[in-house]
Amino acid sequence: MVHHGELVLTKGFGALDPRVENPVLPDDKTLYTLSSISKTLVSAAVGILVDEGKLKWTDVVGAYLPEFRPKHDHRVATEATFNDFLRHSGGLSNPVVTILAQGGKVLVPQRDFIELVNDAPTDGMSLPPMPARTCTY
């Protein structure tokens, strides 16, 4: 854990293999897959920008990411808001499962990530009317 640029806590939790006593020992080689916890970080970052008046929870995400253009349904970029994506109802399937290998190794270079997201399936390849969208997790 880092606070104001200073390391304040280093601790591992859990086990490498739950079938045997093998605690996680954090070091510079320990990698963790953030998965759904990343929504917490994104929510906090968006909240800061909302507090600063730089965006609104109800703003369309595509307005801030011009390279975000899902191929299967353009409405994902032109209608889905920050709120929609943070509650898994933005209309985009989860592309992350296709980029992680065993041990959390990322298979796609960062520069190619937006293309992977743009190629991800949308909910049924077409969004239902906006108020009726359902959660996709």
Per-residue confidence in pLDDT tens, the chain, 137 aa = 778 888 888 776 667 677 777 776 666 666 666 666 778 888 999 999 999 999 999 999 999 999 999 888 888 899 899 998 888 788 877 655 566 666 666 777 777 888 888 888 886 544 555 444 555 55
* CA dist., res. 96 & res. 85, Å (int): 14
Q: Residue 85 has what DSSP assignment?
A: H
Tell me, what's the pLDDT at 91?
82
Tell me, what's the pLDDT at 82?
93
Tell me, what's the pLDDT at 61?
93
Q: Is residue 71 within 8 Å of residue 48, measured between CB atoms? A: no
Q: Is residue 56 within 8 Å of residue 50, measured between CB atoms? A: yes
Tell me, what's the pLDDT at 136?
54
Answer positive or negative: Cα dihedral of 79, 83, 87, 92: positive
Tell me, what's the pLDDT at 31?
62
- Please tell me whether the overall predicted TM-score, pTM, comes out greater than 0.75 for this model: no
Tell me, what's the pLDDT at 132?
45
Q: Residue 48 has what DSSP assignment?
A: H
Among 100, 101, 76, 105, residue whose Cα is nearest residue 89: 76
